[in-house]
Amino acid sequence: MKQTSQQEMTLALQGKAQPATQEVVVHYSANMSIKAAHWAAPNNTRKIQVDDQKKQIQIELNQQALADTLVLTLNPTTTEDVTFSYGQQQRALTLNTGTDPTESTAITSSPAASANEGSTEEASTNSSVPRSSEETVASTTKAIESKTTESTTVKPRVAGPTNISNYFTGDETTIIDNFEDPIYLNPDGTPATPPYKEDVTIHWNFNWSIPEDVREQMKAGDYFEFQLPGNLKPNKPGSGDLVDAEGNVYGTYTISEDGTVRFTFNERITSESDIHGDFSLDTHLNDSDGRGPGDWVIDIPTQEDLPPVVIPIVPDTEQQIDKQGHFDRTPNPSAITWTVDINQAMKDQTNPTVTETWPTGNTFKSVKVYELVMNLDGTIKEVGRELSPDEYTVDKNGNVTIKGDTNKAYRLEYQTTIDEAVIPDGGGDVPFKNHATLTSDNNPNGLDAEATVTATYGKMLDKRNIDYDEANQEFTWEINYNYGEQTIPKDQAVVTDTMGDNLTFEPDSLHLYSVTFDDKGNEVVGAELVEGKDYKVVINGDGSFAIDFLHDVNGAVKIDYKTKVDGIVEGDVAVNNRVDVGTGQHSEGDGTASQQNIIKNTGAVDYQNSTIG
């Protein structure tokens, strides 16, 4: 890598073809700021993304080998060592504020190449090396390695603090000898057992030692730095003394909130040898990218040759089954959607089975099964893919078995219909209680869940007097028919109205309207029905009349009409009106007609005084 100007540097990369597309992350030191990055080759379309807040560059590797140069645009900075790292590989470069390009000061590659190219290393105020000594960062199995020319000349010491990775002469650039297997702790400090939850503390311990050839080049203030993997964060940023087993202090350490760990060495490093110690820190999961539960793969910092640590993480819940229900409409539902969520805790299950006990008046129609995507806190993030029918079995009752071993969470979505036999003619509330049991080969005793939903239905028939016109002696009547929205066959869809002897039906006043209901159950009067198309009227000889519907009725209907009081009304007169329907129900309405006419009686004639009465 090299600095080409005050605001630009380049990083040469190589990588082998990968079996599948993946991303690798190159970290850079906190003391530099990168504004943007692009490939030098215009036809290179691999994705690159700079996150200057996290001090990292994401680079895509795919099925084609990588051999290109990354051009980095820098924000203004001061003369200072900057470091790039991936795993145990670290490379450093001293930036300058002058105009001359500066190349990496790393000492690498082979003597033969050095002889052929005639390269030598020179000391200067900016600690540069010849431009022919160019560093290539190679990524094969996610590794970054040097491919520059080796020199036997020892690099001159830089005035300011230096990242001691610059002092290594081979591929090894770390003072960390090994990471021990992590220890997992519950929030109360007790040992945790797998699978773990989001609040687990991951305790790391490792040994470090400084090779003598590196120590001989070091000075007080020099430092070693590494970055925690992006999916880990330190429990508590802080600092302290860097000590060996005997308690000798060789410097200080700092742990930054972004996961940068730095060892800064003191004067003792220049006068003592065989310096080593151990170091530990506590970390927790960083779910900022929303990866959620599952197997978390943790790359060991600075130890690329070691396999990653795989940490099984499950949601923070013990819930195994939950059931809910909702209607297709309200009021007057005709179907129920039942949802059963299972294994939200993502435990290991073999052939998990949900057995249903449907409420009276419900008939199973269908079921679909979906994977659930869980959050670390135990809530449901989203509904995932639908399972194919060959991944589960379902019997005629709707009992479902998911085949084989699994640790996933699932949602079963059932459709049931409501039998009209349970819908009350007089309207009212009808509860439906559903019971489900989750069993598996691991837990044959099972876990239960219940859900109750209550449906509200309107009446089949309701008649009432809604207005009285005293001047014209007219009553206005309203019939609410099939407000439970049942399906009534045509031959039963007959409404017969019978009036008292003192009432006469006025045919021109008859109107029928379709009715629906909003989500709060309020009626919404719709279009008027058409006589001859939707219904016909038959007036009987006894003064009653019948409305015959010309098709099945499956919705609510409002019927309005008027009757007139016969004859002269003297005083208050009671009137009555009854309606019957073809399905057997009836309803009555009544009212009172008041005197409207003036009635005068003739008294005795007084001829003497010329008066009457």
- The DSSP code sequence of 32-82 is --EEEEEESSTT----EEEETTTTEEEEEE-SS-EEEEEEEEEPP--SEEE
- Does any domain span residue 152? yes
Together in a domain, 299 and 337: no
Same structural domain for residues 142 and 187?
Answer: no
Listed residue (391, 560, 566) closest to 466, CA to CA: 560
Query: Which of 382, 416, 210, 406 minimizes the C-alpha distance to 290?
Result: 382
82 and 195 share one domain: no
Does residue 516 belong to any structural domain of this protein?
yes
Q: Range of 196's domain?
A: 177-313
**Structure confidence at residue 157 (pLDDT):** 53
**Res 97: pLDDT:** 58
Question: What distance lies between CA 538 and its chain's CA centroid?
Answer: 61
Q: Are residues 157 and 9 in the same domain?
A: yes
Same domain for 185 and 326, yes or no, is no
Residue 598 counted as domain residue: no
* Domain assignment of residue 6, yes or no: yes
Tokens 């220049």 appear where?
270
Q: Select from 122, 153, 173 the last residue of a domain.
A: 173
218 within a domain of the structure (yes/no): yes
Q: Among 253, 279, 313, where does a domain finish?
A: 313
Q: Kindly report the CATH number assigned to the domain that includes residue 54.
A: 2.60.40
Q: Indicate left, alpha or beta for 282 from its phi (over 0: left) and psi (-120 to 50: alpha).
A: beta
Q: How many domains does the chain have?
A: 4
> Cis bond leading into 101, ω under 30°?
no
| Same domain as 100, residue 214 | no
Domain assignment present for residue 601? The answer is no
Q: pTM score, two decimals? A: 0.64
Judgement on whether residues 7 and 126 belong to the same structural domain of the protein = yes
Q: What is the CATH number of the domain that holds 384?
A: 2.60.40.1290
Please, what sign has the CA dihedral across residues 285, 286, 287, 289? Answer: negative
Residue 496 sits in a domain of what CATH number?
2.60.40.740
* Amino acid in position 370: Y
Residue 497: CA count within 13 A, CB half-sphere: 31
- Do 407 and 553 lie in one domain? The reply is no
**Which pair of structure tokens corresponds to residue 120?**
């030598």
Co-location of 62 and 77 in the same domain: yes
Within this chain, do residues 453 and 520 fall inside the same structural domain, yes or no? no
- Predicted confidence at residue 90, as pLDDT, reads 76
Phi and psi, residue 164, nearest 5°:
-70, -5
303 falls within a domain: yes
Which residue in the block uniquely carries the two structure tokens 């135990």?
378
The domain boundary, picked from 457, 485, 504, lies at 457
Question: Do 146 and 22 have their domain in common?
Answer: yes
* 603 within a domain of the structure (yes/no): no
User: pLDDT value at position 521?
Assistant: 87
Among the listed residues 28, 25, 30, the one whose alpha carbon sits nearest the alpha carbon of residue 256: 30
pLDDT at 5: 74
Query: Residues 16, 151: one domain?
Result: yes
What's the average pLDDT block by block, 10 residues per block, for the chain (613 residues)?
Answer: 78 76 85 84 82 88 78 73 78 67 42 32 29 34 35 50 90 85 95 95 94 94 93 94 93 95 95 93 91 90 78 94 95 97 96 97 97 96 97 97 97 97 93 97 94 96 90 90 95 93 90 94 95 95 92 96 78 76 85 50 43 45
- Distance from C-alpha of 199 to C-alpha of 284, rounded to nearest angstrom: 7
